[in-house]
Amino acid sequence: MTRRVAAIRDGIAREARPLRDAADLDPLVALVGDARYVLLGEASHGTSEYYTWRAELSKRLIAEHGFSFVAVEGDWPDCYRVNRWVQGYRDSGESAESVLHAFDRWPTWMWANREVERFARWMRAHNEHLPAERRAGFYGLDVYSLWDSIREVTAYLESRDPEMARQARRAYACFDPYFESEHDYARATALVPTSCEEEVVGVLRDLRRRAAGEAGRFAGDGHESYFDAEQNALIARNAELYYRTMVRGGPQSWNVRDDHMVQTLERLMRLHGPLARAIVWEHNTHVGDARFTDMARQGMFNVGQVVRERHDREGVVVVGFGSHRGSVIAAEEWGMPMQRMPVPVARAGSWEDACHEAVHGDFLLVFNGADDGGIAGLDEPWDHRAIGVVYDPSQERWGNYVPTLVPRRYDAFAFIDESHALRPLHMAIDTSDPEPPETYPSGM
C-alpha cells in the first residue's frame, strides 16, 4: 500500500461520521443550510439503503426546512399520479401501493417498491393538514414517456377545448405508423429525412398560446392541471428529439435527456414560487457533477453540472452514495426480468475499497470545498462504482466504475459498507420493448 493510499484511508477514518439513524443526518442538514437545490444520488437503482437514506433526509428537509417537492429519475405521468396521491387530490387512488403498482414501464422496480411506498405514505400524512400551497409534491423528471404523455395532452384538451383536442390528435397521428414503438420511430427517422418534430412543437406552441390568452379556462383551471398538460406536451417534444438523436449514437442523446430533466426541475421551481426548494433523487451519474468524471471528455454534461453552473448562488448541495458489497435488484439484459443479484466486494484500489478499509461500517463524509475535500491526497481520480438497471456482477473487473474526483463531484458522500436489494412491489414486468434507450454506463 502506497503512502498516499494510507494517508487517504487515515483521512477518511478521521473525517467519517457514523450513519446509524436519522439524527446522524445532522451534518447533511447543516450543510444544506439555505440551499435551494439538494441533489441526492445513488450508485444503483436497486439498493434499499440508498432509497431509505434519501427518504430520511428528505423527510427532515421537508418537515424542518419547508422543502417544496421531491423530483426523481422517473416518468412524469406515472410520478404525477403519485404526486396527486401524496397531495391528497380527489380520486387519486386508494393507497400508495395501488398507485405505485401502476408503474408498468420497465424497469418497474425503480419506483414500484416498498421503500418508495413507505416514503409516499409519510408524504401523504405530512401533507394532510397543510394548505395546498404548502404541500410537498412528488414529480418525475425523465423524458421517456412519449406515448403516455401524448395521451395525457389529448385527454386534458378533450375536457377543455374539443376542437383543439382534434387538432392535437391530427398532429400526433404522425406517430401512428410506429405502433407506439419509440425505436421503430427512431430507426425510421435515421433511414429517411422525416420526423414528427414539427407536429410536437406545434402542439406545445398552440397549448401555450391558448393558455396565455384564456388563462381562466386553461392555466387557471385547477391546481397544477394546466402545468401537467404543458409538461406532457413538452415531454412529447423532447422525447421525439431524444429518440431521434439516440439512434445516431454518440453523447448527444444523453445530453438531450439531462437537459430535459433540468428544464423540468426549473419549471417546477417556477411553479412553486420564488421561495421554492427542491430535492432531486437520481443516479450518481446524473447528479454527480460530470466535469469531475470521464464523462466530460466524452462530451457529456449532466443534471448536477448544469444545476451547479446555473444556480450556484442560490445554493446547490450534491450528495453521492456508494457501497462496498451486498445485493441489488437489476436485470441481465434490457427488458429482462428483475433479479436479486450479488454485489461483489469493491474492486481493489477503488473509492469504495478505500472507504471499506478506512471504516468498517456506514458513514458520512462532508467535504470542505477544497480540491481534496479536506483529505490530503484525495485530489486525484478514483474508480467509483456505478451499477445500472442492467448489471453483470462478473464484469466488476472490467467495467462498472467511473473515474471520479470525489470531493469535486460531490459536496458529501454517504457510504454503506454492506447494502441490500430493495423490495419491489411486483415481479411481473412489461418486456414488450426489448431495446434500451442509450444510457451511461449501463441503464442509468
Inter-residue contact 199 to 237 (CB < 8 Å)? no
Residue whose C-alpha cell reads 483529505 in the numeric block: 375
Residues 48/329, Cβ–Cβ less than 8 Å: no
What pLDDT is attached to residue 218?
60
Backbone angles phi, psi at 401, to 5 degrees: -130, 140
Beta strands 401-404; 382-385: pairing state: antiparallel
Least confident of 1-10, 64-73, 105-114, 162-171: 1-10
Q: Cell digits for 187?
A: 430507426
pTM beyond 0.85: yes
Res 430: pLDDT: 45
Tell whether the model's pLDDT for residue 368 goes beyond 50: yes
CB 15 within 8 A of CB 375: yes
Query: Which three cell numbers mark 72?
Result: 426523481
pLDDT score at 438: 54
Which candidate, 350, 365, 270, 355, places its Cα nearest to that of 318? 365
Rg of the chain's alpha carbons, rounded to an integer? 22
Tell which residue, 147, 297, 135, 142, has the closest CA to residue 224: 135
Residue 432 has pLDDT above 90, yes or no: no
Confidence of residue 48 (pLDDT cuts 50, 70, 90): very high
Rounded Cα distance, 388 and 234, in Å: 27
pLDDT at 429: 45
Q: What is the pLDDT of residue 431?
A: 45
CA dihedral 237, 239, 243, 244 (to 10 degrees): 10
Q: What is the pLDDT of residues 240-289, one digit of tens each?
A: 999 999 988 889 999 999 999 999 999 999 999 999 999 999 999 999 99
Banded pLDDT at 2 (limits 50, 70, 90): confident
What cell does 310 get? 446555473
Provide the residue count of the chain. Answer: 444
pLDDT in tens, 198-241: 999 999 999 999 888 765 566 555 568 899 999 999 999 999 99
What per-residue confidence (pLDDT) applies to 219?
57
H or E element, residue 244: helix 225-246
- Residue 28 pLDDT more than 90? yes
| Res. 319: pLDDT tops 60 | yes
Average pLDDT, the chain: 93
Torsion of CA 224, 230, 235, 238, to 10 degrees: -140
Amino acid at 96: A
pLDDT confidence of 1, banded at 50, 70, 90?
Answer: low
The rounded distance, in Å, linking the Cα atoms of 271 and 280 is 16
The whole-number pLDDT of residue 216 equals: 57
381, exposed or middle or buried, with CB in 10 Å at 0-12, 13-18, 19+?
middle
The predicted pLDDT at position 194 comes to: 80
H/E element, 167: helix 162-172
Among candidate residues 210, 206, 182, 208, the one with its CA nearest the CA of residue 196: 182
Q: CA–CA separation, 297 vs 356, rounded Å? A: 29
- What confidence category does residue 388 fall into, taking pLDDT thresholds of 50, 70 and 90? very high
- Percent of the chain past pLDDT 90, that is, above it, reads 84
pLDDT computed for residue 437 by the predictor: 56
Banded model confidence at residue 408, pLDDT cuts 50, 70, 90: very high
Residue pLDDT, tens place only, 69-111 = 999 999 999 999 999 999 999 999 999 999 999 998 999 999 9
The count of other CB atoms within 10 Å of the CB of residue 376 is: 13
Phi, psi of 44 (to 5 degrees): -155, 165
Side-chain-facing half-sphere of 134: CA atoms under 13 Å: 10
Cα separation, 268 vs 272, in Å, equals 6
Convert the pLDDT of each residue in 131-157 to its tens digit: 999 999 999 999 999 999 999 999 999
Task: Read off the pLDDT of each residue in 388-393 and give the average, rounded to a whole number.
Answer: 96
- Which residues face 17 on adjacent strands? 364
Q: What is the DSSP letter of 313?
A: G
Summarize the confidence of residues 193-197 as an average pLDDT: 87
Pairing of strands 363-366, 412-419: antiparallel
Better pLDDT: 194 or 406: 406
Pairing of strands 278-281, 69-75: parallel
